[in-house]
Amino acid sequence: MARAIALVSAHAECDSPDFHKHDSHLWHMDLLVRAERLSELTELALRRRGIEAVLRQRAEGGDSEALYVLLRLLGEAGRLQEARRTVLEIAPDHQYAHRIVEASDDDWIEAHPGLDERTPQRTADTH
């Protein structure tokens, strides 16, 4: 099991636009659970959240590059509402930041036709 985990983790990338890398990430997580390596799972989750927190803190301090990276991470993860909220909270007048979110939104919509989160989805027929 340890060898399989090592092999898969070399190709794994969370929230990658390359579906092979993202599938490897999911497989990696599954293998870690099956091997009961919960401390590694926790470390991976904390590291990911830690990166976002650092980027947000730097962006709040005026670091535009950190803002751009944060927005791209959120967009790639499909967390578009959070990306929009982040721009409004940190840099509401920053036009390029708004364009990054719009581009992420368009990419997400293109990758998920029919699931445009900007349009409320009907859950029941209301005839």
Question: Per-residue pLDDT tens for 13-34?
Answer: 877 788 898 898 889 889 989 9
Domain ranges of the chain: 1-36, 51-114
Please give the full DSSP string across 74-125, using - where no structure is assigned: HHHTT-HHHHHHHHHHH-TT-HHHHHHHHHHHHHHHHHSTT--TTSPPP-S-
Please tell me the least confidently modeled range out of 9-13, 31-35, 41-45, 98-102. 41-45
Angle formed by the axes of helices 19-34 and 2-9, nearest 10°: 160
* pLDDT reading at 12 higher than 60: yes
Q: How do residues 97-125 score in pLDDT, each as one tens digit?
A: 999 888 876 665 565 454 444 433 334 44
pLDDT of 127 strictly over 50:
no
